[in-house]
Each structure stands twice: as structure tokens, then as C-alpha cells.
């Protein structure tokens, strides 16, 4: 496989992942970003923990979707992440009003 073939494959995988994200984002309540992954989920709990003077975050999510093009299955019932980096949690706002069709 050439470098060009590999780049084309990765571009196709990213486009497939984006389309899947676009299709599923409406069924989730939260967006969670960690230093390594991006998640959609319906329940999230973040706890700051201290051990030996180090602070880390324990992030527990349920009913989750993981943005990772290398995972064969992106839906997960429960996810737990431990990280020393920042965690961003945002509640999604879904509009009841659909944009008008321009067709």
C-alpha cells in the first residue's frame, strides 16, 4: 500500500466517522472531550481525585458513542476514563425547530 493509498483510506474513514457522528449526535445529551478522545453520551460524572499529591480526573459515562475511526464498534454502554489532563463537558441543546428545506 502506497502512502497515497493510506492517506486516501484515512480520509475516507474520517468522512465515514463524521457522517456517523452527524447521524447520532441528536440522540445524546452531552459532549465530553478528554486529551485523547471525544465522546457523546447521555450521562456523565466527573470526579477530581488526589493520590500522592497528584490530581487526576475520573470520568464515568453511560450510553456513549466514541469518536475513534479505528474502533470497530463506537457505541459503549459504560466508559470510564482516568486522565491528568483537562476534561470538557458540554450539554447539547437540541432545537425543536428544524431549519427550512432549501429545495
Please give the backbone phi and psi of residue 66, each rounded to the nearest 5 degrees, phi first. -110, 130
What does the domain layout of the chain look like in residue ranges?
Answer: 3-91
Q: What is the pLDDT along the chain (103 residues), one digit of tens a residue?
A: 798 988 888 898 889 889 999 999 999 999 999 999 999 999 999 999 998 889 999 999 999 999 998 888 899 999 999 999 999 999 998 765 455 555 5
pLDDT of residue 48: 95
Number of other CB atoms surrounding residue 97 within 10 Å: 5
pTM above 0.85, yes or no: no
* The pLDDT value given to residue 5: 83
Amino acid at each position: 500500500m502506497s502512502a497515497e493509498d493510506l492517506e486516501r483510506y484515512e480520509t475516507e474513514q474520517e468522512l465515514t466517522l463524521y457522517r456517523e457522528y452527524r447521524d447520532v449526535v441528536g440522540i445524546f445529551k452531552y459532549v465530553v472531550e478528554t486529551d485523547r478522545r471525544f465522546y457523546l453520551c447521555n450521562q456523565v460524572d466527573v470526579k477530581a481525585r488526589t493520590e500522592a499529591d497528584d490530581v487526576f480526573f475520573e470520568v464515568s459515562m453511560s450510553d456513549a458513542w466514541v469518536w475513534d475511526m479505528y474502533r470497530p464498534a463506537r457505541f459503549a454502554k459504560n466508559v470510564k476514563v482516568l486522565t491528568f489532563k483537562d476534561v470538557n463537558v458540554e450539554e447539547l441543546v437540541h432545537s425543536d425547530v428544524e431549519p427550512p428545506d432549501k429545495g
